[in-house]
Amino acid sequence: MDKPRERSFLADTPRLLALGLVGLLLLMPYIWMLSASLKPLDELFRASLSLWPERFHAVENYSRVFSQVPVFHYLWNGIVVCAGILFFQLLFAVPAGYALAKLRFPGRDIAFGLVMLGLLVPPHVPALPLYVTFSKLGLLNTYAALILPFTISVFAIFLFRQFFRALPDELIHAARLDGIGEFEIVWRIILPNSWPAATAFAIFSVVAHWNDLFWPLIVIEGQARATPALGVLYFRSDEAGDDFAALMAAAVIMTLPLVLAFLFAQRRFVEGIATTGLKG
């Protein structure tokens, strides 16, 4: 009843045209990236404005990336790191969020104050001492170095606390009357009732850490533990040189996984970022 009426296509044309034009402009980097990844190098150097290649060189470009760069290795590293980070973030933040939202215990207000304080500190601030510590412990170039600093997400604690507070107390009282312990309540009652918050946070976390360059650049050297972001960086400086065709092919390959995931679960992504954004 409240939805605006579907306008006639004609009346909607100016809006569609404006959005289409701006959208096309925004898509330019993608369009040219794809186009360049299909062309042979000499065609690129002629700087022709034609999007369609005269000679298809896609197979050569993409196979060059796959032969010179351990693409799947980078992607695997990215998955391990993102999954590891998310696992620990949930493991620590969900119980803490529950305790802060629903339980009375000494020091709760101080703990929540610390969470709010932590929200103000960008992750770049603790980077230097963490780097020194990891290097002293010989942890550089390990998954641990990539995962450990992000195991605690004050933002996740805050988000879950806000969400759990909105859950009815009756849910927890009923569970206690049924004889379920607090630990089980967290994982078997609270979390299953909090999927919107959990997926929203998961998407937020994965997008952030899949794209992160700052920290991997600090603690990783060489291919063994390099994330996709580092992989593109290495390929760009070492292998590709001025071979933009292959570089664009590498960029396409590395961008694809998350973009595909986004296109499949578009609504969830957008809602996830919107809810985490608005609460942060």
Among 177, 246, 247, 224, which Cα is nearest to 73's? 224
Closest contact distance (angstroms) between CB of 56 and other proteins is: 18
Closest contact distance (angstroms) between CB of 132 and other proteins is: 6
Nearer of residues 98 and 201 to other proteins, judged by Cβ: 98
Place of tokens 């001492």: 129
Closest contact distance (angstroms) between CB of 51 and other proteins is: 9
Closest contact distance (angstroms) between CB of 280 and other proteins is: 7
Looking at this protein, which amino acid is placed at residue 205? S
**What whole-number distance in Å separates Cα of residue 207 and Cα of residue 255?**
12
Closest contact distance (angstroms) between CB of 63 and other proteins is: 19
Closest contact distance (angstroms) between CB of 31 and other proteins is: 9
Nearer of residues 18 and 224 to other proteins, judged by Cβ: 18
Nearer of residues 128 and 224 to other proteins, judged by Cβ: 128
Closest contact distance (angstroms) between CB of 18 and other proteins is: 6
Closest contact distance (angstroms) between CB of 109 and other proteins is: 12
Nearer of residues 60 and 230 to other proteins, judged by Cβ: 230
CA dihedral 150, 151, 152, 153 (to 10 degrees): 60
Nearer of residues 107 and 192 to other proteins, judged by Cβ: 107
Nearer of residues 7 and 188 to other proteins, judged by Cβ: 7
Nearer of residues 16 and 83 to other proteins, judged by Cβ: 16
Query: Which two tokens mark 274?
Result: 């919107």
DSSP the chain: --SPPPPPHHHHHHHHHHHHHHHHHHHHHHHHHHHHHHS-HHHHHTT---SS-SS--HHHHHHHHHHHS-HHHHHHHHHHHHHHHHHHHHHHHHHHHHHHHH---TTHHHHHHHHHHHHTS-TTTTHHHHHHHHHHTT-TTSHHHHHGGGS--HHHHHHHHHHHHHS-HHHHHHHHHTT--HHHIIIIIIGGGGHHHHHHHHHHHHHHHHH--HHHHHH--SSTT--HHHHHHHIIIIIITT-HHHHHHHHHHHHHHHHHHHHHTHHHHHHHHHHHHHH-
